[in-house]
Amino acid sequence: MISLQKGSHLTLSEIFLVNEDLQPVFDPKDRPWRWWNFVFFWVADAFNVNTWQIAATGVQQKLSWWETWISVWIGYSLVGCFLFISQRIGSHYHISFPVSCRTSFGTFGSIWPIINRVVMAIIWFSVQSWLGAECVALCLKAIFGANLETRIPNKIASSGTSSFMFLSFFLFWLFQLPFIYCRPQTIRHLFTVKAYTCATAGIAFLVWTIVRAGGIGPVVHQKTELTGSDHAWAFVNSTMNCLANFATLIVNAPDFSRIAKNPRDASLSQFMAIPICFAITSLIGILASSASTTMYGETLWSPLDLLDRYVNAGTSGDRAGVFFIAAAFALAQVGTNISANSISAGTDGSALLPRFVNIRRGGFICAAIAFCVCPWNFFTSSSNFTTYLSAYAVFLSSIAGVVAADYCVVRRGYINVFHLYSNGAKYNYSYNKFGINWRGYAAYICGILPNVVGFAGACGNKVPIGATYVYNLSFFTGYISAFSVYCALVYFFPVKGMPVKKFLSESGWYEENVNYELEEDFMTEINNDHPNDYIKGGKFL
């Protein structure tokens, strides 16, 4: 593989810690994202197949439609709060998630959280690509006829899919590659186009479905069949599904907030846009699915299932409508894959092998591996996919809890950016000769432990009901446990770079919006002396 650091004078450890994509984005010209770009980003991200299906789980669990919608509002409002916290380190210090992990896990201790994230990004890239393939399949059926799948000989029946669906998967996978080539600074234009296109398609789909059905259907008139604790836990589960669905984006929020023009552009815009955009998409999904009951005698909770009925029984005009709406959903899946997975995998890959991998190369490596994952196996049963989704949140919530505790409580928003790229004894984030912060790992494990028994129960084993209830709150239990344990450990075993020693009782906030003008190139600058400079100033809110 061709090195990205030819002729570099850096030591072996420094080569491992820095490349161009890992450097802070100090130059404001390289931070073009304004508040409206973040709004378009979330409008675009909200309109996808996965959001539609997540919203349906509450109604499937026998909640009424309005209870489900309230749970969605609460769930995504909580997402906005968690993301507001996690994005701050990126918007103020202009560093990505892999680099931000070094403050709490150590310069080399950050490797495990990064590996954990990059593996999940690859799997999710594959899963979202399969959902995109189903959209492509609908487009092909709309053009060439509803029986196209039966006309193509199935030569791979034993693999769990068909030749037609594999062709659709390949076409969608291929369609994504040019977008992976784009850098994060310029990909914002994709989200603007996607926001207008997908929002229009989603509303048109809802109107079309209601007109075909002659009304919004019986689901919106159904009352809940649940009582007591069953009712309460169904509501909690519906709320927590929103958090589990967002675990990856909460963790890697700095990857995009680092390129915000200023911190305000990345804060309130995201905090407000997330619950509004996802609640509207969820309502469209609930109403359209309700209308499907009138037409087919069963409730179709996936928009793709509903479109498949249209293409199979519709006129040429219906097929044209299916084509354009399915194409919009395919574009939605591309945007989701780029924002949540390929850029994150590329950023993480550049942190694991910075000499050879940058964001662009990492994105293509992610796509290549994802192609081999065989994502159709994740959809053999909905319970398997839900189990995987919940387990994913357990690990990432613990990482997010440790990073948030270190930044918000221990360091009060203060980061010495240049110390993140060196592992000498005098630097804040080396911790020891191995570059590992044992406190971060201890807190991370403590965040996972409360959910282990419940996870075993979710996999089909018999466990106490209390463990199941704890697991239903897995994102909260993981986040809060890791957050609390890390604060306690650092209180008794202090670390370098703490503006206040008694951080549980002393006040003060030391966050800065860093716009550093380099006197030399960054590779040289990191070896210069940069002592801690605590300036008490702004407020968290």
Residue 88: which of 249, 247, 258, 248 has the closest Cα? 258
Q: Which residues of 505-541 are buried (b: 16+ CB within 10 A; e: fewer)?
A: eeeeebbbeeebeeeeebbebbbeebeeebeeeeeee
Residue 455 neighbours by CB distance under 10 Å: 18
Q: 407: which DSSP letter?
A: I
pLDDT given for residue 1 in this prediction: 57
Cβ contact 335:44 at 8 Å = yes
Cα gap 443→308, rounded to integer Å: 47
Neighbours of 492 (CB within 10 A): 7
Q: What is the DSSP string of 330-346?
A: HHHHHHHHIIIIIHHHH
**Cβ–Cβ under 8 Å, residues 321 and 243:** no
CB 279 within 8 A of CB 68: no
72-91 b/e (C-beta count within 10 Å ≥ 16 → b): bbbbbbbbbebbbbbbbbbb
- Give the domains, in start order, of the chain with CATH numbers: 35-390 (1.10.4160.10)
- Mean pLDDT per 10-residue interval, the chain, length 541 residues: 58 74 89 93 86 78 86 95 95 94 95 90 90 95 90 85 93 95 88 90 91 80 80 89 85 93 92 94 86 82 88 84 94 90 91 88 94 81 56 85 96 92 87 94 96 81 86 91 97 92 85 79 78 70 54
Quote the pTM value.
0.90
Is residue 33 classed as helix, strand or coil in its secondary structure?
strand
Q: Do 411 and 496 meet the contact criterion of CB atoms below 8 Å apart? A: no
Asked if 379 and 385 touch (Cβ cutoff 8 Å), the reply is: yes
pLDDT at 72: 93
